[in-house]
Amino acid sequence: FKTIDDMDLDGKAVLIRVDLNVPVDQGRVTDTTRIDKIVPTVKDVQAKGGIPVLLAHFDRPKGKRVDSMSLKQVVPALEAALGQKVAFADDCIGGPAKRVVAALEPGDVALLENTRFHEGEEKNDQIFAASLAALGGAYINDAFSAAHRAHASTEGIARLLDAGAGRLMEAELKALDAALGNPQRPVAAVVGGAKVSTKLDLLTNLIEKVDHLIIGGGMANTFLVAKGVEVGKSLAERDMADTARAIIEKAEAGGCTIHLPVDIVVAREFKAGAESEILPVDQCPADAMILDAGPDTVTAIREVFANCRTLIWNGPLGAFEIEPFDQATNAAAQAAAEATREGRLISVAGGGDTVAALNKAGVAGDFTFISTAGGAFLEWMEGKDLPGVAALEAAAS
């Protein structure tokens, strides 16, 4: 696909699809990561003489105007990140958008209202996409985290204008390629989270691509059940045991080693500071639940990291949001961070919970790359084509 470097942007209004779906509390942005990450694209477009007109969605208003989902509330954070005023149009198409865009001068930036206020956005309606495209002379997609959606502002519009990838999109794709597409081997993956059922496609794809698969969180319990280990009152999908067994067999046959907990942290209650004990994996009492992996498991994970060149991480190893069940996640994250700092490991992480867990462990800054994507990161790890990326490729060919 094209990048900003390949495009003629001089004197044009450049429609830039960004992801401004940021956490907001009482009208104020509480985490500006996604906003901060689009700054290089906006500045580079300006440096090439283009006038950035930002397109984005916010939340899921389902095709209707919902005041609490207006992008107006992100304007102050956007202005702070860019260090300049941002003109806001209270509709992304039609008169209001046209008037704001027509008044822009070189050096200006505009933001258009939530694209999802129109039904045509999620339907990828051609007429809606054409109304967006009519506002500019070129299109740049910088929203990797929305690239799993085949929407008008991520897919349809790319067929109507000269189209390319922004800097964040480029960086995300480069990091993901280094982690799974064309990685330095051996490669390890950490996959955590509650359920096997929601990460089945991901597990199936990973066992074909990585050398070591470390499974943690609630889904590890399902794998333990599959191996005939009693897990007491732990969260486990017993009806997925056969599926888990099939994954283990397929992994073994293909040369991917699956690592499950060898020791566990159990408690009778799931609350902060609950009394807990560390036990061998096969000794979970009938009235207790597994809430974290134990220290021997962390040692084993550390060894895997020491023997690998690349790590891809999605999902916490235990119930990390409640202490003391965050310890395995924290310790493993620290081990990955240390190996990365020492230049021994390329580490890439993504997915909503994952980034929160790594931030909590205080090591997110040490990873080689932290994706801004949640769902798109997962779909990419599942080996699926992302429509937003495919559209840029098609536009270039």
Q: How far is the CB of 122 from ligand 3PG (least distance, A)?
A: 9
Read off φ and ψ for residue 364, nearest 5 degrees: -55, -40
C-alpha span between 250 and 139 (Å, rounded)? 43
- Tell me which amino acid residue 240 is: M
Binding of ligand 3PG at residue 145 (CB under 6 A)?
yes
Q: Exactly one of 34, 37, 167, 209 is catalytic; which is it?
A: 34
Q: How far is the CB of 27 from ligand 3PG (least distance, A)?
A: 18
Q: Which uninterrupted H or E stretch holds 139? A: strand 138-141
Is 58 annotated as ligand-binding?
A: yes
User: Sign of the C-alpha dihedral, residues 375, 376, 382, 388?
Assistant: positive
Q: Which is nearer to ligand 3PG, 224 or 391 (CB)?
A: 391
Q: How far is the CB of 149 from ligand 3PG (least distance, A)?
A: 5
Binding piece for ligand 3PG, criterion CB under 6 A, among 64-72, 143-151, 159-167, 192-200: 143-151
Strand order in the sheet with 263-267: 276-280, 263-267, 289-293
Name the residue with tokens 């990460």: 199
Is 205 annotated as ligand-binding?
A: no
Is 341 annotated as ligand-binding?
A: no
Q: Which is nearer to ligand 3PG, 145 or 310 (CB)?
A: 145
- Tell me which amino acid residue 5 is: D
Q: How far is the CB of 55 from ligand 3PG (least distance, A)?
A: 13
Q: Which two tokens stand for residue 232?
A: 């007491």
- Are 228 and 248 contacting, i.e. CB atoms less than 8 angstroms apart? no
C-alpha span between 313 and 367 (Å, rounded)? 10
Q: Exactly one of 49, 63, 232, 375 is catalytic; which is it?
A: 375
Q: Which two tokens stand for residue 54?
A: 């930002």
Quick check: is 375 catalytic?
yes
Binding of ligand 3PG at residue 375 (CB under 6 A)?
yes
Is 119 annotated as ligand-binding?
A: no
Binding of ligand 3PG at residue 374 (CB under 6 A)?
yes
Q: Please name the residues in contact with 332: beta carbons below 8 A apart, sequence gap of 6 or more.
A: 190, 298, 301, 302, 305, 317
Is 20 annotated as ligand-binding?
A: yes
Binding of ligand 3PG at residue 19 (CB under 6 A)?
yes
Which 21-40 residues touch ligand 3PG, going by CB under 6 A? 21
Name the residue with tokens 């500071």: 273
Is 99 annotated as ligand-binding?
A: no
Q: Exactly one of 43, 48, 65, 195 is catalytic; which is it?
A: 195
Name the residue with tokens 């009394």: 275
Number of residues written out for the chain: 397
Residues in contact with ligand 3PG, counted by CB under 6 A, come to a total of 8
User: Residue 284 in 3-state DSSP?
Assistant: coil
Q: Please name the residues in contact with 359: beta carbons below 8 A apart, sequence gap of 6 or more.
A: none
C-alpha span between 44 and 288 (Å, rounded)? 56
Q: Of 220, 286, 284, which is closest to residue 247 (Cα–Cα)? A: 220
Is 351 annotated as ligand-binding?
A: yes
Is 388 annotated as ligand-binding?
A: no
Q: Which is nearer to ligand 3PG, 33 or 283 (CB)?
A: 33
Q: How far is the CB of 215 from ligand 3PG (least distance, A)?
A: 24
Q: How far is the CB of 24 from ligand 3PG (least distance, A)?
A: 12
Work out which of 28, 60, 185, 341 binds ligand 3PG, going by CB under 6 A: 60
Closest residue to ligand 3PG using C-beta atoms: 21
Quick check: is 34 catalytic?
yes
Q: Which two tokens stand for residue 19?
A: 């992801």
Q: Which is nearer to ligand 3PG, 54 or 337 (CB)?
A: 54
* Active-site annotation, residues: 34, 195, 352, 375
List binding-site positions for ATP.
199, 321, 351-354
List binding-site positions for substrate.
19-21, 34, 57-60, 116, 149
Interaction site with ligand 3PG (CB under 6 A):
19, 21, 60, 145-146, 149, 374-375
